[in-house]
Amino acid sequence: MLTTKTELIRVYGTVQGVGFRPTVCRLAKIYGLFGDVCNDGEGVLIRVLGNESAITDFLNKLWQECPPLGKIIKVTRQPYQGELKCDNFAITQSFNSQVETTLPPDTATCPKCQEEIFSPYSRYYRYPFTNCTHCGPRFSIIYALPYDRYSTSMGAFSMCEECCKEYKNIENRRFHAQSIACHICGPKAWLERADGKSVTAYMFSMLDDMDAVCTLLQKGEIVAIKGIGGFHLACDATNDTAVQKLRERKRRRRKPFAIMARDTNIIKQYCYVSLQEEELLVSSAAPIVLLQAKQFQPIHTTINKKLEIHPLSCLIAPGQNSLGFILPYTPLHHLIFRRIHQPIVLTSGNISDYPQCIDNDEAKEKLSKVADYFVFHNRDIVNRVDDSVVRVVNNKLQTLRRSRGYTPEPINLPPGFTNIPQVLAMGGELKNTFCLLKNGQAILSQHLGNLEHAAAFDTYQETLNLYLNLFEHQPKVIAVDKHPEYLASKQGNKMAVANQISIEYIQHHHAHIAACMAENHIPLNSPPILGIVFDGLGYGEDGTLWGGEFMLATYQQFQRLATFKPIPMIGGEKAIKEPWRNAYSHLISALGWDKLIHRYGELAILKVLKSKPLTLLNLAIEKQINSPLTSSVGRLFDAVAATIGICSEEISYEGQAAIEIEALAQNHISSNSEEKLSYVFTTKVLDKMRHIDSRPMWQSLLDDLQNQVPMGVIAAKFHNGLVKIIVKLADHLCQEYAVTKVAFTGGVFQNSILLERVKTGLEDMGIDVIDHSLIPPNDGGLSLGQAIIAAAKFIKSR
Amino acid sequence: MRDLINDIFVSNFDNPILSQLEDQASFELSNLLQYGDRLAFTTDSYVIDPLFFPGGNIGTLAVNGTINDLAVSGAKPLYLTCSVILEEGLSISNLRKVAQSMQVAAQNAGVQIVTGDTKVVDKGTADKLFINTAGIGVIPTGINISAHNIQPGDVVIVNGELGNHGTAILIARGELALETNIESDCQPLHSLVEKILRVCPQVRAMRDATRGGLATVLNEFAVSSDVGIVIQEQSLPIQKKVRGVCEILGLDPLYLANEGKLLVTVPQDYAEKVILEMQSHPAGRDSCIIGHVTNSHPGIVLLKTIFGSERIVDMLVGSQLPRIC
Ligand SMILES: [Fe+3]
Ligand SMILES: [Mg+2]
Ligand SMILES: [Zn+2]
Ligand SMILES: [Zn+2]
């Protein structure tokens, strides 16, 4: 039976900017269908005329042959009343309607494009902006949806005849590739000297400016390179002088640098790379992957020609045992790296903690004292996106910074969250991201950094406006952290008042737990779980600062079951930057000053403390001058680090003390695989709540220091002790409250020893453990938690 | 007891209006009109721990604070009231000292305390001594100072070191007062204001930076006039000792209280003249330009640090509480 039908078909999902319409067109022709296809705000709209069963077959095939970057979520069919000409199947102009579609993230150069840029016979030979429907910039160049050339910064370049031909040719890989470009019609990249003098590329290369960059890097110069989501600063990672120069100019003392290598074989010379890690490196998101460094690599700088290993400068990641590697992800990178065998530092193009520059003039102004040369190009970066940072812990992906390659890919919400209002969550203060909820999905913004910096705050506001427009988001509820001084909370308040939107104040650690629950698809109205949240600090319900919490939690509510005994943070924020303050606070609370001096007076840490104005510090504690109480485990790590002599005076980047003490323990543990020695933590009930007391731990730790036990052993015993008490307490609380699931979250759970061991400990007891993977455990994931709690509360109140 | 206390104040504040001892002070309107065409009227309550501190006490604070609230409108301060609430058991000699210093402060500033009241409350229901003062002054014709008047391009001037009062008070709470000898800057500012207005009647905004410090006033300026303000860290006059204490206690001097500091914004062209004039006055010897007003980022105050980066200096909702997670 042949029944001819006219149907209106809608395809939802990641279906724009991925070569979807061409696929539709091609398949339609195969199945002898007539009609047209276009993008609109909701996805892809197909009008089709043809045999009913052919239409069905066509749609089945479409599911199977969805382009690599695309993802079909849903297809709907309905009869179409209008007229369709039965002579052709065409791709028609996009039109706007309500935005419901998703926008693909930026994607690393695909193998076919890589081939072309190195083929002298290709018209893309050495063209730094080569891309196709399977690769290239997306989110970073978009102003508005639907994703079409005119709504991106590629709109400024009109296609040449050749490009036009490819764009229109359905057989071509670039059929309807919105950012198609070539030497003739597309953006250009060029080299400039930072001092403004003219460059003659032939001095460095017979080829072109990109090849000249290669020579410059090898000569030890610092080059600022405009990339996909912002500027980078690059220099030879094996050249001590160059790296040192970069550190000084960038005012970045010790914070590790990411390094780019031409291929995974080079990376494997420096690091252990598992299959899973290799997959991440070469994935289309192309993140920075933290890898365990090989210990044997020589740390001097002479090049060992025989091994063909260029030893890395010891200034790349001081005090760490992992390295952050990334592979080239744009044609420009590939061209620069063609002749380079050694790894190259590729760090964000900014000064200290600022957002990276995205604009040529801005970069010239801000980076000309840092870089010797610039690689500029004339395609505007619309959205600043940093490189993402991931790693593998316990055979599982852990995202530390979710940015380029991942955002703004939507995250599906757990069951129960389908009928929710549009929610906007403002995020935290550091490592800020914000989050939009709409249509059962969460869209998490890219990493926006520390909002206290004026430039970061500007970016935050701009990016927020962009997302609200892009996704046509009209928040019904705004969710903010309870901390009264967070700039994001203040901004949320302002927006709520100005637009008469209701506002939800979400406790920091509850948000961490909810983020973890959401990413693990715990359904709404599930029984409560035990959330273990360790972090730097967050504003607690009682006005003190929390950060070592055991909470019974659902999406709507939480109850604090246990915490670490609170300790004053002398000097407030100063105590975060100067770990000796936490050491002083912890030590005098554990043993008292007299006993410390009497028994341990000769220890280095006591010499440090004795040199401080103790009367003033004691006054601060006694009169509670800027010395808020905190149960933070992050600060406990600082205190232990300072006590054993790791950055006692000052840290030079956030989390440094904790990271370095973990590295110490890691080194010790991996060389003594069955290391189980540990310090003792006890628990006590105070004011009806269980408190973990670290006093016994301190006593033994000081004794060990006195007996000159190696730092690695002390660090390991501290980690092991923490693991034991967490497992013991968690087990106890699970029984007491009849809970079967435990969530680990908060920045401290970036510590892989802690995470791995508590996880195995609890799993051995039959307790179900959830933790983070695609969402960072740190404050980068906070906004997702805030959003989903606000949504849950809204549903309940309805 | 009550009479004794009343007597302490009446005898100290002795002046023709007060000595009438009526239920109200009365004074000739014609007398006021010679100074200008508008009245300025303000009130403030003073509570402080400890009552006595290096550089002043609760009494000097109560007089100078209210004088300054009048002065920053451009007004000439004339009359004050004084109400005290004291906790039973407060030492009479301390009370006498406070009353005396109030009188000295008033006399120095050329104002009269013309009426007042005292109440004694049970022990434990108040903390030692609370003082309320209200003040009346007259604003000269043609002067219009308001936080809403600021224009992009204006410059921001302060009359001297920041944070002295706040730091002195913190230190005085411990037993360290002698070790550090930081003194409160408690002083009247009306004659300094008079000088400023003489060379620049076009003063846009002026406020004394008391509780919440410079940061709070500048934020009020930025929001009220919908402008951006950028201040330079290296231009901020902060005493080394104050900086040292702040460093240790982790306090930001921008938020510390002052009791003799005003912030004034003037059109760029007047800046030099105003600075010179201010520097010739004892309360303005260390006057300097600390920042300027911009078109960009309206409502926000930025601090340009020594390293050239820009930090947002926002209005605190509560105390200085760490935000770093
Ligand atoms: Fe946190
Ligand atoms: Mg006042
Ligand atoms: Zn490609
Ligand atoms: Zn072309």
ipTM: 0.89
At A170 the pLDDT is: 78
* Cβ–Cβ gap B321/A575 under 8 Å: no
pLDDT single digits (tens) A693-749: 999 999 999 999 999 999 999 999 999 999 999 999 999 999 999 999 999 999 999
**Given this model, what pLDDT does residue A674 score?**
64
Is the pLDDT at B179 greater than 70? The verdict is no
Q: So what's the pLDDT on residue B46?
A: 95
Pair B173, A626: CB distance under 8 Å: no
* Residue A237 to residue A343: CA distance in whole angstroms: 6
Across B12-158, the runs of DSSP E, i.e. the strands, are 38-46, 52-53, 56-57, 76-87, 112-121, 129-139, 155-158
Q: What is the 3-state secondary structure (H, E, C) of A105-147?
A: CCECCCHHHHHHHCCCCCCCCCCCCCCECCEECCHHHECCCCC
Domain boundaries defined on chain A: 4-91, 189-377, 399-526+778-797, 564-740
Task: Tell me the C-alpha distance between A71 and A759, whole Å.
Answer: 33
Q: Is A49 helix (H, G, I), strand (E, B) or coil?
A: strand
Of A485, A619, A622, the CB nearest to B316: A485
User: Tokens 């680990």 belong to which residue?
Assistant: A744
For A4-91, the fitting CATH number among 3.20.20.210, 3.30.1330.60, 3.30.70.100, 3.40.50.970 is 3.30.70.100
What pLDDT is attached to residue B128?
93
Distance CA A733, CA B1 (A): 62
Position A35, amino acid: G
Closest ligand to A131 CA?
Answer: 3
pLDDT, tens digit, 9 for 90 and up, residues B260-283: 999 999 999 999 999 999 999 999
Closest CA to A449 of A796, A184, A177, A780: A780
Give the tokens for residue A132. 């196709």
pLDDT band at residue A474 using 50, 70 and 90 as cut-offs: very high
The reply to whether B320 touches chain A by the CB within 8 Å rule is yes
Give me the pLDDT at residue A299, please. Answer: 46
CB contact under 8 A, A536 and B324: yes
Q: Is the pLDDT of residue B236 over 70?
A: yes
Count of positions (residues) in chain B: 325
Question: B244 vs chain A: nearest CA distance in angstroms?
Answer: 10
- The answer to whether B248 faces chain A, any CB pair under 8 Å, is yes
pLDDT tier, B25 (very low <50, low <70, confident <90, very high otherwise): confident
Cβ distance A623 to B174 less than 8 Å, yes or no, reads yes
Residue A277: the pLDDT is 97
Task: Return the minimum-mean-pLDDT range out of A353-367, A424-438, A663-677, B231-245.
Answer: A663-677
Q: Hey, is A293 helix, strand or coil?
A: strand
**All residues at 6 or more sequence positions from B2 whose CB lies less than 8 Å from its CB, including other chains:** B118, B120
Which of these ranges, A15-19, A55-59, A249-253, A481-485, has the smallest mean pLDDT? Answer: A15-19
- Asked if A171 contacts A413 with a C-beta cutoff of 8 angstroms, the reply is no
| A539 contacts on B by Cβ (under 8 Å) | 321
Give the tokens for residue A182: 């070539």
Output the six-digit token pair for A749. Answer: 């759970």
**Minimal Cβ distance to A573: which of B297, B316, B324:** B324
Interface check for B176 against chain A (CB to CB < 8 A): the answer is yes
Mean pLDDT for the stretch of residues A300-327: 78
The reported pLDDT for the residue numbered A258 is 97
Q: Is the pLDDT of residue A42 over 90?
A: no
Distance, in Å, from the CA atom of B251 to the CA atom of B253, rounded to the nearest integer, reads: 6
What residues in A contact B297, CB-CB < 8 Å? 454, 458
What does the pLDDT read at residue A5? 87
pLDDT category, B103, cuts 50, 70, 90?
very high
Distance between CA atoms of residues A440 and A420, nearest Å: 7
Name the minimum distance, in Å, from the CA of B302 to any CA of chain A: 7
Across A188-204, average pLDDT: 85
| Chain segment B1-15, per-residue pLDDT in tens | 567 777 888 888 888
Ligand 1 mean position, distance from CA A563 (Å): 15
Domain A564-740 has CATH 3.30.420.40: yes
Asked if B302 has any chain A CB less than 8 Å from its own CB, the reply is yes
Nearest to A55 by CA among A25, A32, A87: A32
What is the Cα–Cα distance from B139 to A649, expressed in whole angstroms? 54
Residue A196 is predicted with a pLDDT of 87
* Predicted structure pTM score: 0.90
Task: Return the amino acid letter for B285.
Answer: R
Q: Tell me: pLDDT of A306 over 70.
A: no
Helix H or strand E segment including A25: helix A20-30
What is the rounded CA–CA span in Å between residue A435 and residue A446?
10
The DSSP bridge partners found for residue B45 are: B132
Of A155-164, A594-603, B25-34, the range with the lowest mean pLDDT is: B25-34
Q: Using one digit for the tens of pLDDT, what is the confidence trace for A591-618?
A: 999 999 999 999 999 999 999 999 899 9
User: If one looks up domain A189-377 in CATH, what number appears?
Assistant: 3.90.870.40
Mean pLDDT of A452-466: 93
Tell me the pairing of strands B155-158 and B262-266.
antiparallel
What pLDDT is stored for residue A642 in this prediction? 97
The residues facing A450 across adjacent strands are none
What pLDDT, on the 0 to 100 scale, is given for residue B318?
Answer: 74
Residue from B259, B233, B311 nearest B71 by CA = B259
Answer whether B323 sits within 8 Å of A545, measured CB to CB.
no
The residue-averaged pLDDT of A247-253 equals: 91
Q: Report the alpha-carbon distance of residue A534 to residue A421 in Å, rounded.
A: 31
Instruction: Determine the distance separating the centroid of ligand 4 and the alpha carbon of B25, expressed in angstroms.
Output: 89
- What CATH number labels A399-526+778-797? 3.30.420.360
B47 Cβ contact list (under 8 Å, min separation 6): B58, B127, B130
- Strand, helix or coil for residue A88: coil
Q: Which residue of A has its CA nearest to B303?
A: A454
Please say if the pLDDT value at position A691 is more than 50. Answer: yes
A429: chain B residues, CB-CB within 8 Å: 323-325
- Residue A672: pLDDT band with limits 50, 70, 90: confident
Quote the minimal CA–CA distance from B258 to chain A in Å: 17
**Ligand number with the minimum distance to the CA of A130:** 3
State pLDDT tens for residues A102-111.
Answer: 688 999 999 9
Contact between A613 and B309 using a beta-carbon 8 Å cutoff: no
Average pLDDT over residues B225-230: 97
- Considering chain A, what is the average pLDDT of its residues? 92
The string of DSSP letters for A242-287 reads HHHHHHHHHT--SSPPEEE-SSHHHHHHHEE--HHHHHHHHSTT--
pLDDT at residue A100 is higher than 80:
no
B226 touches chain A (CB under 8 A): no
Residue showing tokens 């289309």: A284
pLDDT of residue A246: 96
How many CA atoms within 13 Å lie on the side-chain side of A257? 33
The whole-number average pLDDT for the span A140-145 is: 90
A545 neighbourhood in chain B, CB within 8 Å: 321-322
The answer to whether A370 touches A224, Cβ cutoff 8 Å, is yes
Q: How many CB atoms neighbour CB B134 within 10 A?
A: 18
Lookup: tokens for A343: 């790894």
Q: Which domains, and CATH codes, for chain B?
A: 2-139 (3.30.1330.10), 147-312 (3.90.650.10)
Question: Cβ A484–B321 below 8 Å, yes or no?
Answer: yes
Confidence of residue A217 (pLDDT cuts 50, 70, 90): very high
User: Cβ–Cβ of A539/B302 closer than 8 Å?
Assistant: no
Question: Closest-lying ligand to the alpha carbon of B211?
Answer: 2
Q: Which of A250, A367, A457 to mutate to test the interface with B (most CBs of B within 10 A)?
A: A457
Active site residue ranges of A: 21, 39
- pLDDT-derived band at A204 (thresholds 50, 70, 90) equals confident
**Range with top average pLDDT, A362-366, B86-90, B130-134:** B130-134
Considering only CA atoms, give the Rg of chain A.
28
Q: Is B324 on the interface with A (CB under 8 A)?
A: yes
Confidence of residue A301 (pLDDT cuts 50, 70, 90): very low
Average pLDDT over chain B, rounded to an integer: 92
Domains A189-377 and A564-740 share a fold: no
Q: In what order do the strands lie in the sheet with B129-139?
A: B38-46, B129-139, B76-87, B112-121
The C-alpha atoms of residue A561 and residue A529 are separated, in whole angstroms, by: 12
More reliable by pLDDT, A170 or A532: A532
In this predicted model, what pLDDT tens digit does every residue of B42-81 receive, in sequence order?
Answer: 999 999 989 999 999 999 999 999 999 999 999 999 999 9
A741, HSE (Cβ side, Cα atoms, 13 Å): 15
Residue identified by tokens 């593998």 is A392
Q: Give the number of residues written for chain A.
A: 798
Q: Are strands A567-568 and A423-425 parallel, antiparallel or unpaired?
A: unpaired
Chain A interface includes B306 (CB < 8 A): no
